[in-house]
């Protein structure tokens, strides 16, 4: 397992020769934008709650106002921040490799704001809304509400995100696994690899012959299965790779 400069050089070589790059990102890629990773997010006012109380259908039904206000505060936070060099580096890589498929577990929309296209937001997006009972899409819901508004059908409106215990959008899941099967190279950035089924995607790529590169300041559940572990923050490692790719 190479790291440091040798690792970067190897990653550049693999990217230069790859035919189909599959990318999976997690909360770590947004950390340098100032978005706390999922489990950090429960800081300050929210410190006394655990994600399972806030990011679940049961939590929303039990206390719609609390859950609504937590997501509202996260939406405000996302509006205040900008994509970071790691997001922008992935936009550049998408222009360089012949085939590129990006799946993110993040709901902050920062890949799209950075300019990535065809992003698969497998856990949804906190700036999109639907109604709880019928999933009717909702346009421009105002910020700063203390209670979730109601859909025309009478159901409460909720963030269009996948909560714990909810199934992921079937179509997105199918296309993500199909892409992982096609890939000859996978790049896993800023995820602890703890949450299924997203965490299985790199292994599907590997089973189909892909090499796996991981970018993370810490070792994770995936690290031992990766072919290359680039230890460091994605906002530094990815731009360094792009800079060498362009040479
Ligand atoms: N650059 C890259 N990775 C980083 C950085 C950074 N600057 N800072 C932290 N990380 C790494 C951490 O080491 C950790 O491995 O980002 C990862 C974040 O892990 P989690 O907080 O578990 O986030 P994630 O893997 O995206 O969680 C997956 O679980 O909580 C649910 O639905 C939620 O989408 C989320 C899913």
Write the DSSP assignment of 143-179 as a string of letters.
SS-SS--B-TTSPBEEEEEPPTTPPPPHHHHHHHHHH
Domain identity same for 13 and 113? yes
Per-residue pLDDT at 52: 72
Query: Which residue has its alpha carbon closest to ligand 1 atom 16?
Result: 28
Domain identity same for 100 and 145? no
Per-residue pLDDT at 222: 94
Tens place of pLDDT per residue across the chain (247 aa): 555 778 999 999 999 999 999 999 999 999 999 998 765 555 555 677 777 778 899 999 999 999 999 999 999 999 999 999 999 999 999 999 999 999 999 999 999 999 999 999 999 999 999 999 999 999 879 999 999 999 999 999 999 999 999 999 999 999 999 999 999 999 999 999 988 899 999 999 999 999 999 999 999 999 999 999 999 999 999 999 999 999 8
Domain identity same for 215 and 96? yes
- Tell me the CATH number at 76: 3.30.1600.10
What are the two backbone dihedrals, phi and then psi, of residue 246, each rounded to the nearest 5 degrees? -75, -15
Domain identity same for 150 and 241? no
What is the per-residue burial (b if ≥16 Cβ within 10 Å, else e) of 190-209? Answer: bbbbeeeebbebbbbbbeee
Q: How far is CA 226 from CA 15, 20, 124, 211, 221, in A?
A: 15, 17, 27, 7, 10
Helix (H) or strand (E) run with residue 98 in it: none
**Could you list the residue range(s) of the whole structural domain that residue 54 is in?**
44-80+131-161
Per-residue pLDDT at 27: 94
Q: Are 175 and 191 in contact (CB under 8 A)?
A: no
Query: Which residue has its alpha carbon closest to ligand 1 atom 26?
Result: 26
Domain identity same for 183 and 241? yes
Q: Which atom of ligand 1 is nearest to the CA of 190?
A: 3
Q: Are 210 and 235 in contact (CB under 8 A)?
A: no
In the reported structure, the alpha carbon of residue 153 is separated from the centroid of ligand 1 by a whole-number distance in angstroms of: 36
Q: Which atom of ligand 1 is nearest to the CA of 105?
A: 34
- Tell me the CATH number at 222: 3.40.50.1220
Q: Is residue 233 within 6 Å of ligand 1 at its C-beta?
A: yes
Residue of 23, 24, 36, 37 with the most ligand 1 atoms within 8 Å of its CB, for mutation? 37
Q: Are 149 and 158 in contact (CB under 8 A)?
A: no
Per-residue pLDDT at 53: 78
The catalytically annotated residue of 87, 111, 123, 136 is 123
Angle (CA) 193 57 121, round 5°: 45
Domain identity same for 73 and 109? no
Domain identity same for 176 and 231? yes
Maximum pairwise Cα distance, the chain: 59
Say if 39 falls within a structural domain: no
Number of domains comprising the chain: 2
Predicted TM-score (pTM) of the model is 0.94
Sequence-distant (≥ 6) Cβ neighbours of residue 27 within 8 angstroms: 35, 36, 37, 38, 105, 106, 190, 191
Domain identity same for 119 and 135? no
Per-residue pLDDT at 37: 77
Residue of 70, 190, 197, 217 with the most ligand 1 atoms within 8 Å of its CB, for mutation? 190
Catalytic residue status for 111: no
Which tokens in the block code for residue 140? 């421009």
Q: Is residue 74 within 6 Å of ligand 1 at its C-beta?
A: no
Domain identity same for 172 and 220? yes
Q: Is residue 25 within 6 Å of ligand 1 at its C-beta?
A: no
Per-residue pLDDT at 116: 98
């Amino acid at each position: 397992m190479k790291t440091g400069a040798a690792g970067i050089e190897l990653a550049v070589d693999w990217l230069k020769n790859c035919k189909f790059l599959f990318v999976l990102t997690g909360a770590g890629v947004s950390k340098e934008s100032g978005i706390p990773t999922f489990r950090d997010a429960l800081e300050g006012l929210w410190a006394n709650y655990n994600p399972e109380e806030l990011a679940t259908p049961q939590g929303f039904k039990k206390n719609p106002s609390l859950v609504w206000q937590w997501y509202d505060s996260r939406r405000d936070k996302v509006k205040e921040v900008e994509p970071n060099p790691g997001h922008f580096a992935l936009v550049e890589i998408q222009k360089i490799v012949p085939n590129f498929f990006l799946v993110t577990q993040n709901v902050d929309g920062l890949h799209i704001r950075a300019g990535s296209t065809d992003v698969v937001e497998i856990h949804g997006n906190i700036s999109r809304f639907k109604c709880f009972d019928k999933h009717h899409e909702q346009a421009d819901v105002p910020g700063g509400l203390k209670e979730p508004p109601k859909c025309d059908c009478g159901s409460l409106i909720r963030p269009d995100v996948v909560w714990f215990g909810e199934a992921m959008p079937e179509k997105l899941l199918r296309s993500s696994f199909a892409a992982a099967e096609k890939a000859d190279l996978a790049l896993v950035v800023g995820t602890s690899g703890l949450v299924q089924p997203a965490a299985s995607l790199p292994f599907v790529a590997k089973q189909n012959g892909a090499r796996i590169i991981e970018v993370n300041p810490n070792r994770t559940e995936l690290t031992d299965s990766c072919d290359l572990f680039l230890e460091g923050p994605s906002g530094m490692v990815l731009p360094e790779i792009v800079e060498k790719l362009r040479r």
